[in-house]
Amino acid sequence: MHINRLNQQIQFIVEIDGLKQVMRQTLLIDGSRQENSAEHSWHLAIMAIALAEYAVPHITCIIRAGKMPTPQEFYLI
């Protein structure tokens, strides 16, 4: 059972490594080049961690459950 989970985790890691090859239209802050999707994902994850204390509680629960909120759910206060 644990080996299957480990294999799935390794497959996930290999899959997300491919994000390094996906170039986005967004330039880096210094304008030197386009960022790749791995960099973009990393920045979003860090921002989410850094700003988590300001999140609306019901949205935090929805996101933790792995479901993207609909616009109606997002703006529900």
Q: What is the pLDDT of residues 14-35, one digit of tens each?
A: 999 999 999 999 898 899 999 9
pLDDT at 77 over 60: no
Average pLDDT in the 64-68 region? 60
Q: What pTM value is reported for the model?
A: 0.59
Q: What is the pLDDT of residues 48-59, one digit of tens each?
A: 888 888 877 665
- Residue carrying the six token digits 């799935």: 8
- CA angle (64, 42, 36) in 5-degree steps: 130
Domains in the chain: how many in total? 1
Domain hosting residue 52, numbered range: 2-75
Q: Which residues of 13-45 are buried (b: 16+ CB within 10 A; e: fewer)?
A: eeeeeeeeeeeeeeeeeeeeeebbbeeeeeeee
